[in-house]
């Protein structure tokens, strides 16, 4: 009888432990899902803030030489602040919550917001070619976000050392720094307004801004430190 009682008690303990484990598992999944949704929302908001900043920069140029020229510098300053601080801060917060493979394609959404809003904000109409390009960006964003991996391993110090302190990564960084330096040297020799200078400027900016892994790593470390 005593043995049967011990067995029943052990089975009851296992059942309770199993139920508790399942609850923790569901809570973990729910929390992870909420974090991903928060990251997506922050990334979309970041692209919107970036769009507002870019359109303010454009507007500050359009009102030069008009009766509103006195407010041109103020509009320019607000646009610069939104592009340098507003959008990037929101992006860092987003990358601390959701996987990079899910958020990275969404950075192209600012092109969509620009095409949709510019006829009403700046009175400019996008060309059919620009509209088609916007469609390709949106389609690529949706396909990449849907088919890409939505789970990634945590960015710990050990993982970062394993990923960054390798010969291939160091070679890549050296080549990138050399290309950025050459691009900057080329731009200094070309006059402003030159199309080739603008093309190189876009390449340099894309090279620097496209290193999303570094931003994801920093955001993940900050998020982990914040959670304690």
User: What are the tens digits of pLDDT across the range 28-41?
Assistant: 667 777 777 888 88
Cβ neighbours of 6 (radius 10 Å): 10
Quickly list H helices, 82-127. 87-95, 100-103, 109-121
Distances (CA, A) of 44 to 8, 29, 38, 52, 194: 54, 23, 10, 13, 33
Distance of CA 51 to the CA centre of its chain: 14
* C-alpha span between 51 and 44 (Å, rounded): 11
> Looking at per-residue confidence, does 170 or 150 come out higher?
170
* C-alpha span between 196 and 193 (Å, rounded): 9
Angle CA 152–158–162, to nearest 5: 80
Query: pLDDT tier at 1 (50, 70, 90 boundaries)?
Result: very low
- Three-state secondary structure call for residue 123: coil
Residue 71 is classified by DSSP as G
Q: Is the pLDDT of residue 158 over 80?
A: no
* C-alpha span between 76 and 35 (Å, rounded): 34
| Start-to-end Cα distance in the chain | 49
Query: pLDDT tier at 6 (50, 70, 90 boundaries)?
Result: very low
In this structure, the dihedral spanned by the alpha carbons of residues 70, 72, 76 and 79, taken in order and rounded to 10 degrees, is 110
* C-alpha span between 193 and 185 (Å, rounded): 16
Dihedral over Cα of 77, 83, 89, 90: its sign: positive
Reference 40, options 83, 82, 103, 112; nearest CA is 103
Reference 55, options 82, 94, 36; nearest CA is 82
> Looking at per-residue confidence, does 140 or 58 come out higher?
58
- For residue 50 the two structure tokens come to 């970036």
Per the prediction, the chain carries an average pLDDT of: 76
Q: Is the pLDDT of residue 50 over 50?
A: yes
- For residue 218 the two structure tokens come to 């920093």
């Amino acid at each position: 009888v005593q043995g049967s009682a011990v067995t029943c008690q052990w089975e009851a303990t296992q059942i309770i432990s199993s139920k508790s484990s399942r609850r923790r598992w569901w809570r973990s999944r729910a929390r992870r899902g909420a974090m991903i949704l928060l990251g997506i929302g922050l990334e979309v908001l970041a692209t919107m803030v970036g769009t507002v900043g870019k359109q303010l920069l454009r507007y500050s140029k359009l009102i030069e030489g008009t009766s509103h020229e006195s407010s041109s510098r103020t509009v320019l300053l607000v646009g610069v602040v939104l592009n340098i601080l507003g959008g990037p801060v929101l992006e860092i917060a987003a990358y601390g919550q959701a996987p990079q493979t899910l958020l990275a394609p969404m950075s192209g959404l600012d092109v969509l917001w620009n095409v949709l809003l510019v006829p009403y904000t700046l009175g400019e109409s996008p060309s059919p070619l620009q509209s088609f390009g916007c469609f390709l960006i949106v389609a690529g964003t949706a396909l990449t976000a849907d088919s890409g991996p939505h789970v990634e391993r945590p960015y710990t110090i050990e993982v970062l050392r394993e990923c960054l302190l390798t010969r291939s990564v160091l070679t890549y960084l050296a080549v990138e720094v050399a290309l950025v330096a050459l691009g900057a040297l080329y731009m200094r020799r070309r006059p402003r307004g030159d199309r080739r200078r603008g093309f190189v400027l876009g390449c340099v900016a894309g090279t620097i801004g496209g290193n999303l892994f570094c931003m994801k790593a920093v955001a993940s470390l900050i998020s982990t430190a914040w959670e304690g």
